[in-house]
Amino acid sequence: VQLQAFGGGLVQAGGSLRLSCAASGRTFSEYTMGWFRQAPGKEREFVAAISWSRGMTLYTDSVKGRFTISRDNAKNTMYLEMNTLKPEDTAVYYCAARWRTTVTSTPGSYDYWGQGTQVTVSS
């Protein structure tokens, strides 16, 4: 599966953005999908994931209540709605996929990655 993330940009603190991850290739509905981010000088960290079946979700604590992950299997697209953005959310955001697995926060568990989209939150 090929992934392409887009929707990043520059936003003021407290603002909102919606990221999208478009997938092509094999059956999108059979992939557990995840969002990760990497800030300059830091390791890639887990943000959120949504399972391939029943749409179970998982979030890192720092984004709970602010970010919402969702998917539209008919459009082969995953989304990350980001509200009440903070400067510490600034990073390159990546989408990732793994075939038929439970939701996981471990980057190494994902087999396919998109190219990343920059999110910058100004204070």
Per-residue pLDDT of the chain in tens (123 residues, 90 and over written 9)? 999 999 999 999 999 999 999 999 779 999 999 999 999 999 999 999 999 988 899 999 999 999 999 999 999 999 999 999 999 999 999 999 999 989 999 999 999 999 999 999 999
Query: What pLDDT score was predicted for residue 26?
Result: 72
Q: What token pair was written down for 72?
A: 């539209």
Spatial CB neighbours of 108, under 8 Å, sequence gap ≥ 6: none
What is the phi/psi pair of residue 89, to 5°?
-80, -5
Query: What pLDDT score was predicted for residue 63?
Result: 98
Query: What pLDDT score was predicted for residue 22?
Result: 97
End-to-end CA distance of the chain: give it in Å, rounded.
Answer: 37
Gyration radius of the chain's alpha carbons: 13
Other CB atoms within a 10 A radius of the CB of residue 93 amount to 24
DSSP for 96-112, written as a single string:
EEEET------GGG--E
Query: What pLDDT score was predicted for residue 89?
Result: 98
Query: What pLDDT score was predicted for residue 8?
Result: 97
How far apart are alpha carbons 22 and 10 in whole angstroms? 21
CB 31, CB 50: distance < 8 Å: no
